[in-house]
Amino acid sequence: MSSAEQGGAVLVLEDGRAFRGESYGAVGRTVGEAVFSTGMTGYQETLTDPSYHRQVVVMTAPHVGNTGYNDEDQESTRIWVAGYVVRDPARIPSNWRSRRSLGDELAAQGVVGISGVDTRALTRHLRERGAMRVGIFSGPDAARPVEELRRVVGEAPAMVGTDLASLVSTDEPYTVPAVGERRFSVAALDLGIKSMTPQRMAERGIEVTVLPSTASLEQVLTSGADGGAPDGVFFSNGPGDPAAATHEIELLQNVLERRIPFFGICYGNQLLGRALGFGTYKLKYGHRGINQPVMDLSTRKVEVTAHNHGFAVDGRAGEVRETPYGRAEVSHVCLNDDVVEGLRCLDTPAFSVQYHPEAAAGPHDASYLFDRFVDLMAGTATPDENEKDA
């Protein structure tokens, strides 16, 4: 039975508001945190991003699935979203790379979704009330009273205080070889890494050893070429509350003490913030999409960037703080709401950004950040040097 023939479904928010529609994907029930993504393209990369673990994604673009589902655009080995909400799913996908429909792939991977929902009204509700728990119910569950389903939603765990990186991280280390001559070796802590990220480093002559989120300091310090120390350390994107990632924060502090060049993105930016002594907090409804404007305060350059984060570093644009590792500054800020989008250490070789420079599924404005990491490892850029590549 195709997803279009599966019957009715209902979406129930924890505050009691309900939306009825049609089953899309697998039939059953799912619960998670309701978030919305503003990207008009790149839905396959969104679905397979481990940072969306335990989240029900609402697509604000009204028409989804028109390019189908292919075997090339995966950012991991599976779909990670807890549920999927669309307004108008494509009836017939049309793209030369398409292998199957989006609805069929959701069903095959057991992802419960709903279509025919007024996603504009739902998005406005989440913007006004904030991200909250939600459930999607289809099959026999769709006929149950809304209040009964609301109680099911209320039993789901909240995102605040959850440590989820270990649930999406690799179990064993693996290596992504450099393309061409190896120039550097990097230890990448997998907190929910997207496959394009080590590929972008490999394209720059970096051999990347991807380590589990539970890796010890000794594992990091022996992950370089011939069992030696790596030339740099990278912390990836990932799901969960950064305040709960005590092991990863302690590991990063040891890296900073040893002055090993460090680069972090998304979750890695939040962990650098906490390692430096900044606080983190839950955003009202987060940033998710591929169209978020960010300013690099050192160059005044504005980039359109890809985001997926519900937590943020607590700081102010241009703020400089004294830390146990020297001075650190807020280096990037979101132009929509002034949320911190990057940190830079001025006396230690470390920096991070809140967005995704690997550019899957775009945009490409921030790809130069991997070159900045190369410069840091090569010693051709000092930590406090204004960026010449703007």
pLDDT tens digit sequence for 10-39:
999 999 999 999 999 999 999 999 999 998
Q: Which of 266, 287, 332, 341 does the annotation list as catalytic?
A: 266
Residues 235-264 have a mean pLDDT of: 97
Tens digits of residue pLDDT in 332-372: 999 999 999 999 999 999 999 999 888 666 677 888 899 99
Residues 180-197 have a mean pLDDT of: 96
Output the average pLDDT for the chain: 93
283 vs 1, which has greater pLDDT?
283
Token pair, residue 213, equals 């989120």
pLDDT band at 143 (very low <50, low <70, confident <90, very high): very high
Tens digits of residue pLDDT in 118-127: 999 999 999 9
Tens digits of residue pLDDT in 227-244: 999 999 999 999 999 999
Distances (CA, A) of 124 to 4, 36, 148, 338: 26, 10, 25, 20
Q: What is the pLDDT of residue 360?
A: 65
Tell whether 311 is in a known binding site: yes
Q: What is the pLDDT of residue 41?
A: 87
Phi and psi angles of residue 84, each rounded to the nearest 5 degrees, phi first: -140, 135
Tens digits of residue pLDDT in 96-111: 999 999 999 999 999 9
Q: What is the pLDDT of residue 389?
A: 45
Active site residue 345: no
Q: What is the pLDDT of residue 277?
A: 97
Active site residue 332: no
- The DSSP code for 25 is E
Rounded to an integer, what distance in angstroms lies between the CA atom of residue 245 and that of residue 243? 6
Q: Is the pLDDT of residue 4 over 60?
A: no
Distances (CA, A) of 330 to 265, 306, 345, 353: 14, 19, 9, 10
Q: Is the pLDDT of residue 385 over 60?
A: no
Amino acid occupying residue 359:
A
Tell whether 286 is in a known binding site: no
Q: Which domains does the chain have, with CATH numbers?
A: 3-154 (3.50.30.20), 165-378 (3.40.50.880)
Phi and psi angles of residue 311, each rounded to the nearest 5 degrees, phi first: -120, 160
Q: What is the pLDDT of residue 28?
A: 97
Phi and psi angles of residue 287, each rounded to the nearest 5 degrees, phi first: -120, 120
Q: What is the pLDDT of residue 376?
A: 97
Q: Which of 207, 248, 358, 387 does the annotation list as catalytic?
A: 358
62 with 36: CB under 8 angstroms?
Answer: no
Q: What is the pLDDT of residue 362?
A: 62
pLDDT band at 382 (very low <50, low <70, confident <90, very high): low
Q: Which of 288, 55, 12 is nearest to 154 (CA)?
A: 12
Tell whether 55 is in a known binding site: no
Residues 313-327 have a mean pLDDT of: 95
162 with 244: CB under 8 angstroms?
Answer: yes
Q: What is the pLDDT of residue 381?
A: 61
Distances (CA, A) of 54 to 34, 73, 164, 229, 324: 9, 21, 9, 35, 35
Token pair, residue 217, equals 């300091």
Residues 161-174 have a mean pLDDT of: 95
- How much of the chain exceeds pLDDT 70, in percent? 95
332 with 307: CB under 8 angstroms?
Answer: no
Rounded to an integer, what distance in angstroms lies between the CA atom of residue 190 and that of residue 212? 5
pLDDT band at 386 (very low <50, low <70, confident <90, very high): very low
Active site residue 128: no
pLDDT band at 168 (very low <50, low <70, confident <90, very high): very high
Start-to-end C-alpha separation, the chain: 53
Tens digits of residue pLDDT in 68-79: 999 999 899 999
363 vs 84, which has greater pLDDT?
84
Q: What is the pLDDT of residue 388?
A: 42
Least confident among 136-140, 159-163, 233-237? 159-163
Q: What is the pLDDT of residue 317?
A: 92
Least confident among 1-5, 159-163, 198-202? 1-5
Tell whether 240 is in a known binding site: yes
Q: Is the pLDDT of residue 301 over 60?
A: yes
Tell whether 310 is in a known binding site: yes
Q: What is the pLDDT of residue 380?
A: 75
Q: Which of 294, 291, 256, 259 is nearest to 275 (CA)?
A: 256
